[in-house]
Amino acid sequence: MIDGKLLTEKLIVYAQEFLGLNDLDVIYTKNLILGQLKLNAPSKTSLTEAEKKEIASLAVPDTLIEELMAYATENNLASNEIEADLFANYIFGILTPKPSEVNGAFMSLKEKLGPQQACDYLYNLSIKNYYIRKTAIDRNIKWDANDLDIPLEITINLSKPEKSNKDVAKLLTQPQGEKYPACPLCKENEGYYGTLTHPARSNIRTISLTLGGEEWGMQYSPYLYFDEHCILFSKKHTPMKIDGKTVERLFDFIEMFPDYFIGSNADLPIVGGSILNHEHYQGGKHLMPLQKCKAFEKYKCDKYPDTTVEVVDFYNSVVRVCGFNRSTVQALATEIISAWKGYTDESVGIIADENGVKHNTVTPIARF
């Protein structure tokens, strides 16, 4: 049997060590946890120095999560593993600083030490509070296929179930506001307990940003497909759309965070991501094989003479627009996207639109 009072003491020490729990908030937070554990008083004894040292050595909170889940099951606070997981996440949401505090710390670090230090803070917090489930992610299988003429990275992702194209297309037809939160990317997820069909979001923390003059949020992916895999999401629940506004937002982001790349899933179910009913982008610190590839053709544009257009030697059709002037690169990229979306050449099987269904789109990616 799990000793709830002892577990509470462990959680408080962990939060002080890794989650920035202020000494002035210890009693308050301890009482909140005791209430959730259905306990009326804390332990009469403190942890030993050896026990505190053991907690301070934890790279991830998995052992504490397991104890919370076991306690919830033993004490009828959860009737199955999913409910126990929701309960454990909720406790870690209590231990995690409030969104306003996280945003304040992030922006302070960004201003004083730089954007990467701010990102490090949010990234490490997301691991330590169990939003990023690093142990599960570390079980993913990945390797470099360097024996190919053009290298690839292969990943077998075991930590996240994937949706089919049909499931993705179905999401796009759901009425707006049918459920709460409307999808896993909505701003209303922050602090949401979760259900048997909606993932726990009690412990997620997001950063508010302005992209293209609009309100957006930044978080890290709980599944981490690559290094420091972050997600940008619109604070409005609107479907994905690739156009010139997309390019503007991507450029705004990399100007704020020059160490990261950022890109958008395509806005068509057959080639897009698993959530196309909410506008969002994905990025991170990783250098993808595509971004290392050389060009086999280069062109100059008379309209934008300070830019270079490259056809990249890769498995997909890739056009890379390069330049030192944001406005001209952005303008040319926007023109290319617009032209391709309406381009038809039936002699080679390219049809832009068929019975009102779009066929052409792009996956735009931006980086310094």
pLDDT tens-digit map of 201-217: 999 999 999 999 999 99
User: In DSSP terms, which residues pair with 144 in a beta bridge?
Assistant: 153
119 within domain boundaries? no
Low-confidence ranges of the chain (pLDDT < 50): none
User: How confident is the model at residue 274, as a pLDDT?
Assistant: 74
Q: How many CB atoms lie within 10 A of CB 90?
A: 20
Boundaries of domain holding 163:
135-366
Tell me the residue type at 307: T
Asked if the structure places residue 79 within a domain, the reply is yes
| Residues 84 and 150 grouped into a single domain | no
The span from the first CA to the last CA of the chain, in angstroms, equals: 54
pLDDT at 310: 97
Boundary-marking domain end, from 95, 124, 152: 95
Do 233 and 315 fall into the same domain? Answer: yes
Domain endpoint, select from 95, 127, 160: 95
Instruction: Note the pLDDT of residue 157.
Output: 83
Give yes or no: residues 81 and 140 share one domain: no
Query: What's the total number of domains in the chain?
Result: 2
Tokens 């922050």 correspond to what residue? 190
Examine the domain organization and report whether 165 and 19 are in the same domain.
Answer: no
- Find residue 220's DSSP bridge partners: 230
Q: Give the model's pLDDT for residue 162.
A: 52
- Stated pTM of the model: 0.92
**Helix spans in 133-201 (H):** 134-137, 165-172
Same domain, 77 and 140: no
Are residues 18 and 155 both part of a single domain?
Answer: no
Summary count for the chain: helices (H), strands (E): 12, 13
34 vs 47: CA distance, rounded Å: 16
- Asked if the structure places residue 108 within a domain, the reply is no
If asked whether residues 12 and 150 sit together in one domain, one would say no
In a shared domain, residues 184 and 36: no
Inside any domain, residue 351: yes
| CA 336 to the chain's CA centroid | 28
Contact at 8 Å (CB) between 176 and 182? yes
Whether 362 and 240 map to the same domain: the answer is yes
- Distance, in Å, from the CA atom of 284 to the CA atom of 282, rounded to the nearest integer, reads 7
Q: Tokens 């409307």 appear where? A: 182
Q: Quick check: 227 and 221 in contact, CB under 8 A?
A: no
Closest to 260 measured CA to CA, from 235, 285, 243, 242: 285
**228 and 290 part of one domain:** yes
The verdict on residue 106 lying in a domain is no
Q: What is the CA radius of gyration of the chain?
A: 23
Residues 214 and 357 in one domain: yes
Residue 325: what are its φ and ψ, rounded to 5°? -110, 110
In a domain, 116, yes or no: no
Residue at 105 is within a domain: no
pLDDT of 167? 53
Alpha-carbon distance of 185 to 277, in angstroms, equals 10
Same domain (yes/no): 144, 71: no
- Contact assessment for residue 125 and residue 140, using Cβ atoms and an 8 Å cutoff: no
Return the structure tokens found at 181.
Answer: 């939160």
